[in-house]
Amino acid sequence: MRITRHLIAASLGLALSAATAAPPPDTLEQRLAPCLACHQPKERNDAYFPRIAGKPEGYLYNQLLNFRDGRRQFPMMTYMVSQLPAPYLREIAQFFSAQHPAYPAPIRPDTTPAVLERGRLLVRQGDSARRIPACIGCHGQALMGVAPSIPGLLGLPRDYINAQFGAWKNKVRRAQAPDCMAEVASRLTEADVAAVSSWLSSQRVDDAARPATAPAAPLPLKCGGVRDNGGMHGSARAVDAAAVDAATVGAVKGGAR
């Protein structure tokens, strides 16, 4: 009986201690922990979900706006950002853009050398006869993206790359007009996409690599989400949304506590 009383007293003490313990720190990193369930860097580059760490801030911000405003469709992402104001989305983009974990080793491509060479040529040279620009024309000579708004293409899983081209072709993924990637995707065959995704996902990435600070030459296409070459960083709609949302960002942060 005495042992039972001691156990009950100890249990009550632990319960009281837990009830009065300080809550976890209310930091942006702590709030974004659910994002890492999908976007945590993996040891192998064979998952579906993309690496977002180290991507240019403007690109990440634009994609969050696209999910929130219906230009991109993925139920989990839409649910997570549907009620978030633009300034808060900007903070999220800034956080992930500043992260630079090591890249995983690339997977061995299960395709032929001819397919890989076709992918390399499309990435490096494009196909002028079909008005397909080289990937490096927008995404940088090192394919690590161009700040502030153009993403890198290396370190992405092959299945993710394939899925994004399919989404552009089927008009499930859109961007601010003019939607340059939808235009490029419409000119690529399934074999082209398979070649490009196989080659990109098979490339080793230098952990010290970072996005370029400016394009090496004028971009080959106008892109609504890009500041250069007639486009701009974010649309007028996004700018208006940011102005309206600034008044409510404090309330959202308070509700997250």
User: What is the domain-level CATH number for residue 108?
Assistant: 1.10.760.10
Percent of the chain with pLDDT over 70: 78
In a domain, 150, yes or no: yes
The length of the chain is 257
Q: How far is CA 133 from CA 3, 10, 121, 195, 249, in A?
A: 78, 70, 11, 15, 40
**pLDDT attached to residue 244:** 37
Residue 87: inside a domain: yes
The predicted structure's pLDDT at residue 242:
43
Q: Is residue 133 part of a domain?
A: yes
pTM value? 0.79
Spatial contact of 72 and 173, defined as CB atoms under 8 Å apart: yes
95 belongs to a structural domain: yes
Total structural domains within the chain: 1
Task: Please check whether residue 118 lies inside any domain of the structure.
Answer: yes
Stretches where the chain sits below pLDDT 70 are 1-21, 43-46, 227-257
Asked if residue 170 belongs to a domain, the reply is yes
pLDDT at 248 (0 to 100): 37
156 within a domain of the structure (yes/no) = yes
CB of 255 closer than 8 Å to CB of 24: no
With respect to residue 15, please indicate whether it lies within any of the assigned structural domains. no
Q: What pLDDT is attached to residue 222?
A: 94
Range of the domain at 193: 28-34+43-255
CB atoms within 10 A of CB 63: 23
So what's the pLDDT on residue 50?
Answer: 93
Q: How many CB atoms lie within 10 A of CB 58?
A: 23
